[in-house]
Structure 1
Amino acid sequence: MARTTLTRTVLAAVSAAALFALGACSSDAGTQTGGGGETNAADDGVITLGFSQVGAESGWRAANTKSIQDTLTAENGFDLKFSDAQQKQENQIQAIRSYIAQQVDVIAFSPVVETGWDAVLQEAKDAGIPVILTDRAVDSSDETLYESFIGSDFVLEGEMAGQWAAEQYDGEGYQAVELQGTTGAAPAIDRKDGFESAIAGSDIEIIDSQTGNFTRAEGKTVMEGFLNAHDDIDLVFAHNDDMGLGAIEAIEAAGMTPGEDIKIITIDAVKDGMQALADGKINYIVECNPLLGPDLADITKKVLAGEEVEKRIVVKDEAFDQAAAKEALPTREY
């Protein structure tokens, strides 16, 4: 399915001549002029970008990593330096400091959690290295510490999930449990807030909520705990597909039918989740598009060319019921 961006114009691929011009007017790698001036790549025209990924916790993250690695290639004028933080903020901070020491042209990362970034981002700013946030935002009062955020509206995703739940199940007295993402992570905070605001006024009640850290294994474990603690669960809201798939395993092991005995709503719309939706084991999925590599490449080139960029670039996410999942699956990219 084609990606749609709400607040940007997609740039055409940069030509070899444009890359040469960028390199010809550059000075030392990682330098930046103040006051909205031009930031330049190395003299050979190759853009060295250091990227710190959250981890490899889900199918969504794997698709996101593949999009970045497939796009930021030598053929496209990039030298990508990639690191996996294994869901630890200290690993990301260490990676960012390593990129600063290497004097890369640009640093990009998907923050493990929202807070605690000001010091290291100030170090990047002092070194004249622009920072681009992907997928997840940071909670900072100083927006000059980064150039742009590229990703989804997590609050809206939660709202879309909650609105569908309220439309389908209000009046049924449903008791819901929530599988949260990693504590302190932007999608976990925002999806929870969005879902709760959307079901407010309905008779859907969240009776338990715990983190499953966005992983299938922990989603299964937490769901097993929910099933042991409650005998009246009607609905599961999982902050991502992987935790929802783990919940399916726990529900089936308990002798119940997911999608029927217990309804399931998730967010992401990766292939495994979409297949479970098509099979009737999940009831509704809100998309979170992971294919951010082209956006990151475009914004990086604009920043280094000294062009103005949007501070917040939000991609459009769709939503799927069973029929829509069956239609989308044959051409699904992730």
Structure 2
Amino acid sequence: MDTALVIGGTRFIGRHLVAELLDHGYDVTLLTRGNRENPYADDDRVDHVEGDRTNETVLEAAATTVDPDAVFDCVVYHPSDVRAATRIFDDSEAYVYVSSGAAYGREEIPKREGETPLETCTAEQAVDDTFETYGNRKAEGDRAAFAAAEDGVRAMVVRPPIVYGPHDYTERLDWWIDRVNRFDRILVPGDGTNLRHRVYVADVASALRLVAERGAAGEAYNVGDRRLVTLAEMIELIAESLGNVADSPTEHANGEQSEPRAGDVELVHAGPRELAAGGLELDDYPLYRTYPHVLSTAKLAALGWESTPLVEAMDRTVEDHLESDRNGDEIGPDREAEERVLGILETF
């Protein structure tokens, strides 16, 4: 395969996927609405088609003008869009749909492709736009891709859990990096053994390419860090990475410079009762999940995929965080509420 169409390639997963494809010799075309800055605008190896991927006429025009060998669908949130794309690009050598670990409908450890049941999806859920139906819609998109494969389309599915890394607009990990970088005492929800599978974004990109090149039609592939860490271990990993990049000051997006804070942090654990003193709950914390969420990645590894070592992945993530103005303030507890909890815990 020589040519690729990336539907959504300027923000996060798609942005890293474009870099991965370029590194492996592909000619790449982006299909985006043009609402965000295109990091590849000055790269003559990357073409750009502007349009809304939910408009079938736009997809049909892209199929005709680009005629891609591989199609990577990174921004599809409704099963009807998967059905349209697999029909329109039915003669491509590969169609890869970016699904989610949220598509699984049963709590199992680990969740395996073809074994763990998927979420159900009603007709009403299929057209909904709320977060509550996200997993249902992703699961129905999986089934749409599988149905296309039965009709002869080389359609495949990749299921990542929480994705982290440079340019992560969700700021979920940024909230924790900011906490560790600014404070010596870190309030940890629960006992710190919370386990929620994550995956480095560059590894998602390499998985998408490998599945397009080597995957089997009608199959799904989980992608996630090959070594998992608990929430407490993740915080310690962040502290280690801050120490790794502490030798040089960082220039932020606003032009200011700061020195990364290096050193050990004290983890202070708080259960529901203690958190309530600050008006907080366990689920207020980014990346917290009561029941472990773990995906088996053996099937993807069998294609020759490998994940980036955790320290290396976190170092790159921390470096990008320090160069950005992201701090996750909008998605996690404020420090004043945490200080109230920490003050009470000091009296015990």
TM-score (norm 2): 0.38
TM-score (norm 1): 0.40
